[in-house]
Chains A and B, each alone.
Chain A
């Protein structure tokens, strides 16, 4: 008899456990995170006029519904909405030039010197995410130094990483395998999304096709 009760008790416990586990999954934490670094946008330049926006259009910044977004930021938002993910922008303590020319010079100098800018904040509860989309523009055929900072400061072991890149004509170059080199314990999909920056605001199909192929 006692044996029966014990069995029942164990059964109840098991069911309870699985119910608990289920409530864990349905927790309103999204398990997907979209992290991106985008060229400084005129968000910080309140007195921007249309002429400036034109000047910036080639400089990794696009306009969308009268908003000015970084090219990578725009793609990141598309992915975030489609996958119902959380969004995180990598931001540095120091401000970078918002014009293409000066940004190029600063970027290359910092890449050459292996400089790592200080990031403004750390992602809270990084452990909640198992899938991370990482987006960035290329700096001189390479990852932007703020993305190096991010990848070196955070341990993404065990997570699936899907990189997406906006470039000025070079393609992804080696940037995706660089991510894999920096996060050896993560599963990096090196066949990520590659978009020419001039195409981003005219055609978002590649983004959705890519996500569809990944099962989103």
Chain B
């Protein structure tokens, strides 16, 4: 496919699977706890090659000159790693299906709160993580499918769609009171079983898009706009 290295195709496939798994994980209760726990294990195992297949990132870490963009990227990746670590360890501690007999097992409410706290931060950080790589993903997908990035559809229709989805995401973020989970105000995540499942996943997807597109937009506004003009 247009000489795109197989590794990149694998990586983008992996990113899509990771995003899907992330949404599945956020719907903790919808499929039962056992599936949630195993999905978490698979998510963690997929994160390893997601990080490991980008060795150049670590090489760049010390060799490239510092810039604000670079600083933001490093800060986000460290935050994401910390959140992921907390979510994984607390998840293992709470596990009662996948790994129920670990020596670190805990039934503490505080561990559950930590787990909830870290994963709701991840909604925000994963979104920003996506946003920081937005242009890269866009360029890559255009190349993969031989699309013209400057066509009317790609330059006008798609951005309009992302903005609309972002608006929905912001609305969902507010109405679902995600901030109260992020700031440790609520001890349990809310689940409404009268709500159709697709709406739950869709709203978390739009929240990711909101944080991604907002990050993408702000980076352009504050860092790269001047460079262009």
Count residues of chain A with CB under 8 A from any CB of chain B: 20
Q: What 1/0 mask marks residues of chain B from 92 to 131 whose CB sits below 8 Å from any chain A CB?
A: 0000100000000011111010000000000000000000
* CB contact under 8 A between A173 and B29, given known A112-B96, A168-B187: yes
Chain B 168-189 per-residue mask, 1 if CB under 8 angstroms from chain A, else 0: 0000000000001100001111
B186 touches A168 (CB 8 A): yes
* Of A88-96, A99-107, A150-158, the one touching chain B: A99-107
Q: Of the 9-residue stretches B44-52, B190-198, B200-208, which lies at the interface with chain A?
A: B190-198
Q: Which residues of B contact A171 (CB under 8 A)?
A: 190-192
Chain B interface residue count, Cβ-Cβ cutoff 8 angstroms: 18
Q: Name the residue of chain B whose CB is nearest to the CB of A196.
A: B186
Q: Which of A106, A173, A174 has the most CB of B within 10 A?
A: A173
- A160: interface (CB < 8 Å): no
From A100, A106, A112, A169, give the contact of B188 (CB < 8 A).
Answer: A169
Cross-chain contact B107 with A170 (CB below 8 angstroms) = no
Give A101 to B107 CA distance when docked, in angstroms. Answer: 10
* With known contacts A101-B108, A105-B109, A169–B96 Cβ distance under 8 A: no
Q: CB of A141 within 8 A of chain B?
A: yes
Q: Mark A129-146, 1 if CB is under 8 A from B, else 0.
A: 000000000101100000
Whether A141 contacts B188 by the Cβ 8 Å rule is yes
Q: Is the CB of A101 within 8 A of B110?
A: yes
- Check A173/B191 contact, CB under 8 A, given A112-B96, A168-B186: yes
Query: Given A112-B96, A173-B29, A173-B193 in contact, is the A104-B186 Cβ separation under 8 Å?
Result: no
CA distance A140 to B109 in the complex (A): 9
- Provide a sorted-by-A list of 15 A–B residue pairs whose CB atoms are within 8 angstroms: A101-B108, A104-B107, A104-B108, A105-B106, A112-B96, A112-B107, A140-B112, A141-B191, A169-B180, A169-B181, A169-B187, A170-B190, A171-B191, A174-B193, A177-B193
Binding site for A on B (CB under 8 A): 29, 96, 106-110, 112, 180-181, 186-193
